[in-house]
Amino acid sequence: MADLTLNDLASKMKGIDIAFLASKTDNGEIASRPMSNNGDVEYDGDSYYFTYEKSRIVSDIRRDKNVTLSFTGKAGLVSGPSFYASVQGQAELIKDKAAFEAHWTKDLDIWFDKGVDTPGLTLVKIHAQRITYWDGSDQGEIQVP
């Protein structure tokens, strides 16, 4: 099978709701937490996650913008071969309401009761730099400009 393109990978990643976002803590350890991307994965290698300004992920990113996302797709006899991706990239913290509105989905209301007006709301944008993937028996790596 041919190598996957960035467009192929983004399409597969959109179908996986939960990614684990890993960052470095203040003492150099790795912290990882589940985050929903709400299908908001662009074809240029960016993905977006909402959180609160006082969360650990925000303080970690302020210290070190290097993060990793881990995606795991479904596998089984009926659903076919599994898909996995590890995304290494740089995180950016966004506090702009227009950006909130551009990336908001109604499903987020369960976590953020005032929608884009939720106090302390922060958008985390991850720009992929390198994506390693395993798609069934195929594997590969994409460098993202």
* pLDDT tens-digit readout, 82-112: 889 999 999 999 999 999 999 998 889 999 9
Task: Give the angle subtended at the CA of 33 by the CAs of 112 and 92, to the nearest 5°.
Answer: 70
Domains of the chain with bracketed CATH: 6-143 (2.30.110.10)
Residue entry with tokens 């009761």: 113
Q: DSSP for 125-145?
A: EEEEEEEEEEETTEEEEEE--
- Do residues 124 and 49 touch, judged by C-beta distance below 8 A? yes
Q: Please return the burial class of 114, using the count of CB atoms within 10 Å of its CB with bins 0-12, 13-18 and 19+.
A: exposed
The 8-class DSSP code of residue 41 comes to B
Residues 6+ away with beta carbon under 8 Å from 14: 37, 39, 40, 41
The pLDDT mean for the chain works out to 88
pLDDT in tens, 27-49: 999 999 999 877 777 667 788 99
Look up the pTM and report it. 0.88
